[in-house]
């Protein structure tokens, strides 16, 4: 007695469309969230880097936007209190162009006149506390308000000659 086998394919199980819709919606939400995080991350990484001369020339366009600037601090800085935090006021120079700086927080460990620094902050209009104590202020009613400072240096360390040359390049005799 041979048993007959039915080899005809059975109908496939139809997927319910009701189950696919939440999966598609969840996938779209996850993709949008990933794109949003990428956009925010890449947008914050695009801070523009200027020298003092370019930053001063473009300050009306930069007003309110964060940017980085490199320059040489001139002799004479003043310790002040701004917004209930310790701050230092000094003049930054590059190619004979000056900019007054109000740096909120502690300055970099190697901060000193003649040693270039990279600052991150915004342009602001208004008086700067302690500006009267500076030796060569820009005193043009604009100032940079910064909260991040890095001393710029290379492997070739020359103490006095390098500092004096950078200060003299700004038109100030040390």
Cβ(114)–Cβ(91) under 8 Å?
Answer: no
Q: What pLDDT is attached to residue 27?
A: 93
The CATH classification number of 49-169 equals 2.40.50.140
Tens digits of residue pLDDT in 14-43? 555 567 888 889 999 999 999 999 887 776
Q: How many CA atoms lie within 13 A of 5 on its CB side?
A: 2
CA distance 48 to 50: 7
Residue ranges per structural domain of the chain: 49-169
| Other residues' Cβ atoms within 10 Å of the Cβ of residue 173 | 7
Query: Given a cut of 80, is residue 168 above it in pLDDT?
Result: no
170 vs 125, higher pLDDT? 125
Q: What pLDDT is attached to residue 155?
A: 55
Highest mean pLDDT among 4-13, 45-54, 70-79: 70-79
Q: Determine the average pLDDT of the residues in 134-143.
A: 84
- Least confident among 78-92, 109-123, 159-173: 159-173
Cβ(41)–Cβ(63) under 8 Å?
Answer: no
């Amino acid at each position: 007695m041979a048993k007959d086998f039915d080899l005809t394919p059975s109908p496939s199980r139809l997927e319910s469309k009701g189950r696919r819709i939440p999966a598609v919606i969840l996938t779209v939400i996850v993709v949008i969230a990933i794109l949003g995080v990428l956009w925010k991350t890449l947008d914050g990484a695009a801070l523009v880097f200027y020298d003092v001369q370019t930053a001063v020339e473009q300050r009306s366009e930069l007003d309110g936007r964060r940017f980085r600037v490199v320059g040489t601090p001139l002799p004479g800085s003043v310790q002040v209190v701004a917004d209930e935090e310790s701050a230092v006021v000094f003049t930054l120079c590059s190619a004979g162009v000056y900019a007054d700086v109000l740096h909120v927080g502690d300055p970099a460990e190697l901060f000193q006149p003649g040693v270039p620094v990279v600052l991150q902050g915004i342009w602001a209009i208004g008086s700067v506390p302690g500006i009267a104590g500076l030796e060569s202020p820009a005193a043009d009613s604009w100032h940079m308000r910064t909260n991040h400072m890095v001393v710029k240096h290379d492997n070739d360390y020359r103490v006095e000659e390098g500092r004096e040359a950078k200060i003299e390049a700004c038109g100030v005799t040390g």
